[in-house]
Chains A and B, each alone.
Chain A
Amino acid sequence: MQKEFKLMKGNEAVAEAAIRAGCDGYFGYPITPQSEIMEYLMLEQPEKRTGMVVLQAESEVAAINMVYGGAGCGKRVMTSSSSPGISLKQEGISYMAGAELPCLLVNIVRGGPGLGTIQPSQQDYFQSVKGGGHGDYRVIVLAPASVQEMADFAVLGFDLAFKYRIPTLILSDGIIGQMMEKVVLPEQRPRFTEEEIRKNTPWATVGKTPDRERNVISSLNLIACNQEAHVNDLKKKYDTIEENEVRYETYQCDDAEHVIIAYGSSARISRKAVDLLRAEGRKVGLLRPITLFPFPKKQISDLVAKKVKGFLTVEMSLGQMVEDVKLVVNGQTKVEHYGRVGGSIPTPEEVADAVKSIM
């Protein structure tokens, strides 16, 4: 079959791919620069195509709690927002982490803090990979660097969320949300039937039948030793995820003496910087973490072992991921950061100069 190429914005691609992933419900609230996600879904009327529900909630807080309710019933549910809205959603995300509910979250990051700017940013890294809300938890974080990955990760995000009963976050930004690229969309897959939900997610609250005990979705555990056991179980799950689900991409790393570490749109910009530096004969490579949690620690360690002379993280932030790189490198070699903030975007030339400055 001939592949169907479309030209789509990242925001549209993630929305269309979610429909095709068999999503049961989207619950959102408008905020720039991601409103196209809900606008696309409302225009597309997936209710007629697959029966998927699309609902504009009264707030981000309501939207994430709608996701909680739907996820508790074993449904493939999602929400999307941009930074200030994701802050509001942290309440529900923490509850879902506690209640071990799967869902797909999309953050099209804009510059902060506060209302900040609507321009692209990567300032929500800490919030995304360290939990985000209250309590000791993680969500899986996927960092797409293209419109194609926005589509692919909608499917992957749902699958990982259900595999581990965990919220999965697509951490993107205004560049990838707003830009259009060529994309091949996934095949339409069916939504779960109630029979499948009862069989595959036996914990889901879809109505108590005589053949099983009642199901309860809750993050409450008033007895300390029980809650401790629960949190330790969550830790085991996070460890398994760290073992199995690391995803990354390398570019020109084989003989690299200096390596840029960057994710998402910064990785795209950095890739061009690598080309500029290679054209000058400089041995520079790029490591792009695709999953930010789990973080590609081993791959960074391997580069340290290969005697890389220095790392430069490129982030549209004051330097957040750089802390995780430093934890892995543990002083064995130089780790520096280059970034722009507040909605400003680094250029490939700036990144190339920053790499030269650490040589």
Chain B
Amino acid sequence: MSSIAKKENLVYQRPALRTEKEYSFCPGCGHGTVHNIILEVIEEMGLQEKAIGITPVGCAVLAYEFMNIDMQQAAHGRAPALATAINRMMPDKAVFTYQGDGDLAAIGTAETIHACNRGENIVIFFVNNGIYGMTGGQMAPTTLPGMPSSTSPYGRDVETMGGPMKITEMISQLDGVYMSTRQAAHTPAYVRKLKKAIRQAFENQQARKGLSFVEIVTNCASGWKKTPTDANKWLEENMFPVYPLGDIKIDGKLVK
């Protein structure tokens, strides 16, 4: 063992900006991966002293326990409002929000849309797993048609509950949005693409280009009541057709 545990053989390590606190996420959850990549990018870009992160209410509420940067914990859905004020009063910082689908696309819809419309110079990370994880698997705006949840136990009935909300496409129509993209984080290949997108988002932010919006479609094995591997399979087969991956807006221009 000791003969191969050398730096040059390392393929993975704890990001330098991770705290010692162990992740409290469920097995197979995508949050830990996304946290890690954000922290890697912040470190690689040398933004630790400028970074101010805003955590949501939901599974990512405790992100401040894992990220070794200055952070604020927002009321449910309000992260873009906090980020707006910080960005306006300290334009030289690197401000980002990290939000789930309930936080960003339900209770925080107004804050999301208006921060995007004003073109706040921030990065928004939107982790979409189609369900409320923290509160125990309730229906989210992004829950798929027919998909069961604890508040749609017979499956989401589009007639009475509405359909899955594609908020990334919606906000991409706003002039204030400079970049929007939809990524995934469940395989190494997707992680590499995601990291590129996150880096681009922070570069936009540093170049004061406007708002960059990165959606990450992930699984919620616990909420979906599946094993992690089954959840990833279900993610590809069911979530991706409704939430197709790829760039939506780049350099202020819609690409699809």
Contact = CB atoms under 8 A, between A and B. Distances in A.
Interface of A: 24-25, 27, 53, 55, 57-59, 61-63, 65-70, 72-73, 75, 77, 91-92, 95, 99, 194, 205-209, 214-220
Contacts of A99: 73
Contacts of B72: 68-69, 72, 205, 216-218
Nearest to B87: A69
Given A73-B86, A217-B71, 13 more contacts: A53-B85, A53-B89, A65-B82, A69-B83, A77-B85, A95-B75, A205-B70, A205-B71, A206-B52, A214-B64, A214-B67, A215-B71, A217-B72
B75 A69 contact: no
B71 A214 contact: yes
Query: Which of A24, A27, A68, A95 counts the most chain B CB atoms within 10 A?
Result: A68
A59 B110 contact: yes
Contacts of B70: 205-208, 214-216
Nearest to B114: A58
Interface string B53-84: 01000000110100111111111001001111
B73 A62 contact: no
10 contacts: A62-B111, A73-B86, A75-B85, A206-B52, A207-B51, A214-B70, A215-B70, A217-B73, A220-B62, A220-B73
Given A217-B73, A219-B73, A209 B86 contact: no
A218 B74 CA distance: 7
Interface of B: 19, 48-52, 54, 61-62, 64, 67-75, 78, 81-86, 88-90, 93, 110-111, 113-114
A218 B85 contact: no
- A contacts with B: majority SS: mixed
B117 to A, nearest CB: 8
Contacts of B81: 57, 61-63, 65-66, 68-69
Contacts of B51: 207-208
Contacts of A70: 85-86, 89
Given A70-B85, A92-B78, A58 B111 contact: yes
Contacts of A27: 85
Contacts of A63: 81
Contacts of B73: 99, 216-220
Given A206-B70, A207-B49, A218-B64, A69 B82 contact: yes
A209 B49 contact: yes
Contacts of B84: 55, 62, 66, 69
Contacts of A91: 75
A208 B75 contact: no
